[in-house]
């Protein structure tokens, strides 16, 4: 039930939802003074959440920076969190905007930085069908002639907490020595590290899929950008997720 509500209520934490609600209230209210305040607030929020400089500044300090891995050390496993693929309308899988997770994980394996790759991802849909991200990702790894003995698939998880829970079982079963390289999007790494630490899994963060880089002060950085509004969704989801995890002790 908790998982159901976390999915269905997700839309209400996004900036565009707040702005839309404020505009709707402004249109229906009969009080001119209240209407003016609502419109000013909605416009202010729109300008803030479409400002590239503000977003870049926040993302730069929020994102976890990847460490410099030494080429002389080989890790037992690179653990790639799902969320980089989905099921298309034709029933086949496809890579989404977070495909960099898969690419970086594959590169770490192919360059000899890790001996195994563990893909952790099931089906996060409220009505799951036959598509499981981990299984689909394995078929893609096979296209690169990656040996079966190097591939570990965890296809039960629906969120990061379950990523850690089920991955831990597989890592222990195969007697793979920690620390492991953890690959996920930069905006998600901060929360993922807390969850994996809570689960007792020693990992080294390897962030990827950066949505922004070091902020640069320029005129172009203050021109409203609708794409920035959409990017804020990822960060606000992470903030809320961290608060929920803290309150629930997970």
Domain boundaries, the chain: 2-63+224-248, 75-208
Residue 72 has what DSSP assignment? Answer: T
Give residue 190's region: left, alpha or beta (phi > 0; psi -120 to 50).
alpha
Q: Distance (Å, rounded) from C-alpha 175 to C-alpha 173?
A: 5
Q: How far is CA 227 from CA 58, 62, 199, 237, in A?
A: 15, 19, 35, 16
pLDDT of residue 88: 79
Structure tokens at 115: 């001996």
pLDDT of residue 3: 52
Mean pLDDT by 10-residue block, N- to C-terminus, for the chain (250 residues)?
Answer: 57 90 93 94 96 94 82 91 88 90 97 96 74 94 96 95 97 96 96 96 95 83 92 94 80
- For 113, the 3-state DSSP assignment is coil
pTM, whole model, 2 decimals? Answer: 0.89
Please tell us whether the domain made up of 75-208 is placed in CATH 3.40.50.620. Answer: yes
Q: How far is CA 232 from CA 15, 21, 75, 82, 208, in A?
A: 8, 17, 34, 20, 17
Cα-based angle 8, 13, 19 (whole degrees, multiple of 5): 120
Structure tokens at 231: 């990017």
Strand (E) positions, 57-155? 75-81, 85-87, 93-95, 114-120, 151-154
């Amino acid at each position: 039930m908790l998982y159901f509500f976390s999915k269905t209520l997700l839309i209400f934490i996004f900036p565009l939802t707040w702005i839309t609600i404020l505009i709707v209230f402004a249109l229906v209210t009969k009080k001119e003074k209240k209407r003016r305040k609502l419109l000013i607030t909605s416009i202010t929020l729109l300008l803030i959440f479409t400002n590239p400089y503000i977003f870049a500044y926040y993302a730069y300090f929020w994102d976890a920076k990847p460490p410099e891995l030494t080429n002389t050390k080989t890790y037992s496993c690179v653990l790639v969190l799902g969320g980089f693929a989905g099921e298309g309308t034709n029933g086949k899988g496809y890579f989404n905007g977070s495909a960099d997770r898969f690419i970086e994980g594959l590169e770490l394996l192919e360059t000899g930085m890790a001996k195994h790759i563990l893909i952790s991802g099931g089906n996060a849909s409220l009505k799951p069908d036959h598509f499981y991200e981990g299984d689909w990702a394995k078929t893609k790894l096979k296209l690169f002639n990656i040996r079966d003995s190097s591939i570990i698939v965890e296809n039960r998880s629906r969120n990061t907490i379950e990523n850690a829970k089920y991955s831990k079982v597989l890592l222990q079963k195969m007697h793979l020595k920690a620390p492991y390289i953890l690959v996920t999007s930069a905006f998600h790494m901060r929360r993922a590290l807390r969850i994996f630490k809570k689960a007792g899994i020693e990992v080294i963060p390897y962030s990827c899929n950066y949505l922004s880089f070091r902020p640069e002060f320029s005129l172009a950085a203050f021109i409203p950008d609708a794409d920035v509004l959409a990017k804020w969704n990822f960060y606000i989801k992470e903030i809320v997720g961290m608060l929920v995890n803290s309150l629930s002790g997970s």
